[in-house]
Structure 1
Amino acid sequence: MFTIGCHLSSAKGYLKMAQDAASIDGNTFQFFTRNPRGGKAKAIDPADVAAFHEYAADHGIATFLAHAPYTMNPAAAKPETRQFALELLTDDLMRMENTPGQLYNMHPGCHVGQGMEAGIELIADALNQVLTADQTTTVLLETMAGKGTEVGGRFEELAAIIERVERKEKMGVCLDTCHVWEAGYDIVGDLDGVLAEFDRIVGLDRLRAIHLNDSKNPIAAHKDRHERIGEGQIGLEALVAVTNHPALRDVPFFLETPQDDLAGWGREIALLREAHVG
């Protein structure tokens, strides 16, 4: 089944997000666990969660993707910033167990001048502190555009983090098409080659979600500027090829394209569904 959705506001709860997704023919969705710049998360309403499960089952919504706030940086140089990241991760993963078996996505972090190896070690250390044997949530590291001191702009960096994590079975990757393009991976001219490289370095079995975005910038720009589907430097044909690739067709897709309202994502979902094979 072709699983596609967009980024929704969690302010009104799980049920409303599922209803919004279904209203534009989506069968999954993504949301921030709290304000993307940080802050306290909204209290979870058990009645809302119960209503969500019932609605989701009736509308074919089996998977969603929760996104950590951008301010969470387990690779930070300052101990207090790393402690804040640990507290956020611990709280978010605890809250995720209200909806078992889902996906939680995080930007790996920025080493802020400490060096890539130090950043990788710090991220893995944070994950080793928060992952538990009984959690049902899979934590995804997102592929990054490689701007500044970001960790995760190369597949090798994600693989190095996962290699250092003790509970590897709790780990996966979210591939962002805009990010990998701007990091220098040619998904337009050599999608097969990029996926083969990902499989060799990380393993396609760890690819659990895809952020499907066009890019405002050319390949290897390292700037992270998302664009609407078909209106950027990647283009509709290449993005459709991503959704139809045999290795990716069972992976859920999430739109993070700049839109003014739900209708914009609805048009993109319709466009991609029409171009999807099978």
Structure 2
Amino acid sequence: MFRIGCHLSASKGFLAMGKAAVSVGANTFQFFTRNPRGGSAKAIDEDDVAAFLQFAAEHDIAQIVAHAPYTLNACAADPNIRRFATETMADDLRRMEYVPGNYYNFHPGSHVKQGVEVGTDLIVEMLNRILRPEQRTTVLLETMAGKGSEVGRTFEELRAIIDRVELNDHLGVCLDTCHIFDGGYDIVHHLDDVLADFDRVIGLDRLRAIHLNDSLNTLGSHKDRHAKIGEGNIGLEALTRVINHPALRSLPFNLETPNELDGYAAEIKLLKSLRTDD
């Protein structure tokens, strides 16, 4: 089944997100766990969660993705920022246990001139402190475009984190098409080679979700600016190959394109029409 969704506002709770997803033709979705610029999270409403779980079962909504706030930086030079990252992720993972079996995605962070090695050390330290054997949420490291001092700009950098996390059976990867294209991976002309490289370095069994975005920038620009589907430098033809690739087609795809709900509905309808054998 084609799992396709988009990024939704969590301000009105899980049930409202489920209904918004269905209204645009989606059967999965992504949401920020709290304000994307940080701050406290809205209290969990257990009645809302129960209503959502019933609605999700009735409408075949599965494998939703929670996204950490952008301000979560596990490898910041400032210890207060690192403390916020640790406390926020730990809280988010506790909250995700209300909807078990789903994903929690985060940007590994920016080392802020400390170097990739130090940044990796700090990310690993946080994950080893937070992850629990009994948790039912898989934490996803997102592939990054490599702007500034971002960690995760290559598959090797993500692998270096995974290898040193003690409970790495709770870790996966979310591949962002805009990010890896901007990072220098040519998914337009060499998608098979890129995925073979991913498999060699990380393993396709770790790939759990896709952020499906076009890019306003050129290959290797390291700038990370999303474009609407078919309106960027990746293009509709290449993104059609992504959603139909045998190694990817069973994964959940979420749009993070610059759209409101009507725009997402149009893109989801378009992508469904380009999906083969469903």
Q: TM-score, normalised by structure 1?
A: 0.99
1:270 aligns with 2:241: no
1:119 aligns with 2:119: yes
Among all aligned residue pairs of Structure 1 and Structure 2, give the percentage whose two residues are the same amino acid.
63
Residue 141 of structure 1 corresponds to 141
> Per the alignment, in what secondary structure is the counterpart of residue 151 of structure 1?
coil
Matches of 2:46 and 2:85, distance apart in 1: 26
Cα displacement string for residues 128-147 of structure 1 (whole angstroms, at most 9, x for unaligned residues): 00000000000000000000
State the shift of 1:210 in Å: 0.2
1:254 aligns with 2:246: no
Matches of 1:157 and 1:263, distance apart in 2: 37
- The Cα RMSD (Å) is 0.5
Amino acid at match of 2:11: A
Matches of 2:78 and 2:10, distance apart in 1: 30
- Name segments (4+ residues, structure 1) moved above 2 Å: none
Residue 224 of structure 2 corresponds to 224
Matches of 1:240 and 1:18, distance apart in 2: 26
Cα displacement string for residues 12-67 of structure 1 (whole angstroms, at most 9, x for unaligned residues): 00001010101111000000000000000001100000000000000010210000
- 1:1-278 aligned within 5 A: 1-259=1-259, 261-278=260-277
Aligned residues: 277
Cα displacement string for residues 179-238 of structure 1 (whole angstroms, at most 9, x for unaligned residues): 000000000000000000000001100000000000000000100000000000000000
Cα displacement string for residues 87-108 of structure 1 (whole angstroms, at most 9, x for unaligned residues): 0011000000011111000000
> Per the alignment, in what secondary structure is the counterpart of residue 4 of structure 1?
strand
Structure 2 portions without partners, runs of 5+: none
Matches of 2:219 and 2:25, distance apart in 1: 31
Matches of 1:255 and 1:62, distance apart in 2: 15
State the shift of 1:80 in Å: 1.2
Amino acid at match of 1:254: N
Amino acid at match of 2:45: D
Structure 1 portions without partners, runs of 5+: none
Amino acid at match of 1:206: R
Q: TM-score, normalised by structure 2?
A: 0.99
> Per the alignment, in what secondary structure is the counterpart of residue 127 of structure 1?
helix
State the shift of 1:81 in Å: 1.1
Q: Does 8-17 or 75-84 show the bigger shift?
A: 75-84
